[in-house]
Structure 1
Amino acid sequence: MHSDTTGSWTPVALSADLPAGTVIPARISAGSIALWRSESGRLSASADRCPHRGMSLSHGFVRGEALSCIYHGWSYAQGGNCIRIPAHPGLTPPETIRARTFAVEEAGGVIWVAADETETKPPVLEGLTPLRSMTTDAGISAIETAAGTKASAEGLIEPAGGTLCLLVSARNDGQTLIHVLLKGETSPADRIAASREAESLRRAAEDLQKKGIAS
């Protein structure tokens, strides 16, 4: 299974990991992206490269409704167009200066980004509560083997006999991103137990990967 676990959409982060006014790095099949949320709460996904000097925009900062590069402060609107160049405060930047943007959707506490243009919507994972995200050097096949079950079309792996679900997505850097989700209502003790179970599954999958049992 490749990184686009459901059509063009990839689950790149949990909503709780991206508060208003922040930016984080993420990955989709098209490459690295800067995932950011404006101060009003609107989500955006931009290619992680400033058109000016190539600095990673995920190293930048959010002011109001714009993402600014940490290097020279060039600012970009949610549509990707440059709206401010601090060295030339009286200049209206031309429309040709823009960062590539990607469609982004938020559903059920999960943030999805589409690598290509699409008219579809990402899946709605009903009855699941996000807990945490983690990465592993194991491939999805190794995770499936460790969990004793196959991933669904949406990228969900549901080990038997518990509240744990793993939303998996293979990244283009060789790692697999895992979003840990819980079924139904859970107590603090349930969440601690599920987090430990997810860690155990990750270690088991990495061990299988190293031994070449699953890849």
Structure 2
Amino acid sequence: MNWVAVALTEDVPPGVVIPSRIEDTDLAIWCTPSGRYHAWSDRCPHRGMRLSHGFVRGDTLACIYHGWQYNEEGACDYIPAHPKLTPPDTICVPTYTCTEAGGVIWVSLNKTDSALPALGGRKPVRSLPINLSANDLAAHFGAEDYTTIAVVSDHDVLIAVQPCTDNACMAHVLASPDKDRTTVSRWLEDLRATLEGMPS
């Protein structure tokens, strides 16, 4: 698995952190005030609190529990209870490769030099959870891979699929820029109803 879409940029504006997941890996996706995106393990090394419950302070992500702050490399650089202490280098959050392209936030859990998926000029519409595995979603459309699925429809839709669990995924949907977002969104809702009504 190389690049996986984890969110649309409009859902993670500067200064915001959200939870996300790729299979069995829980992630905290966050954006600095200057617009740099990061994907980290969603656990604070101190007491295991979810970092996605935390908050962005400048170019750092702070844990909501005790306020420990981690810089963009994932290293702890400030502990409020010990403000004069320089935290040891061993206190750090596992980080993953993360980038933005075409209004989509992409993450790779492994080092990769693979190109990002081509979006064909399509623009983001919305993200939607679907109670179906990523593989089953791909199979429904006859696609060999679930990373991105081009759907033949009136809307020229591309679905960037995020595998979450064995029976759930997120569909990050893009469509031709000349298509009405509301119409595409309704089409997506109908698609989800069809997919979730399929026999397992």
Aligned match of 1:133:
127
Aligned match of 1:151:
143
1:194 is aligned, of 172, 184, 191, to 184
> Is residue 14–residue 33 contact of structure 2 (8 Å, CA) maintained in 1?
yes
1:96 is aligned, of 90, 101, 104, to 90
- Equivalent pairs, count: 199
Q: How do 1:46-125 residues align onto structure 2 when only pairs under 5 Å count?
A: 46-125=40-119
Aligned match of 1:206:
196
Residues 68 and 137 of structure 1: CA distance in aligned 2, closer, same or farther (over 3 Å): same
**3-state DSSP class of the match of 1:194?**
helix
Residues 119 and 141 of structure 1: CA distance in aligned 2, closer, same or farther (over 3 Å): closer
**3-state DSSP class of the match of 1:70?**
coil
Aligned match of 2:30:
36
> Is residue 55–residue 69 contact of structure 1 (8 Å, CA) maintained in 2?
yes
> Is residue 155–residue 169 contact of structure 1 (8 Å, CA) maintained in 2?
no
Counterpart residue type for residue 59 of structure 2: E
Identity of aligned residues (%): 43
Counterpart residue type for residue 16 of structure 1: E
Instruction: Mark the runs of 5 or more structure 2 residues left unpaired by the alignment.
Output: none
**Structure 1 CA distance for aligned equivalents of residues 115 and 139 of structure 2:** 29
Instruction: Using the TM superposition, give the Cα deviation of residue 185 of structure 1 relative to its aligned residue in structure 2, in angstroms.
Output: 2.1
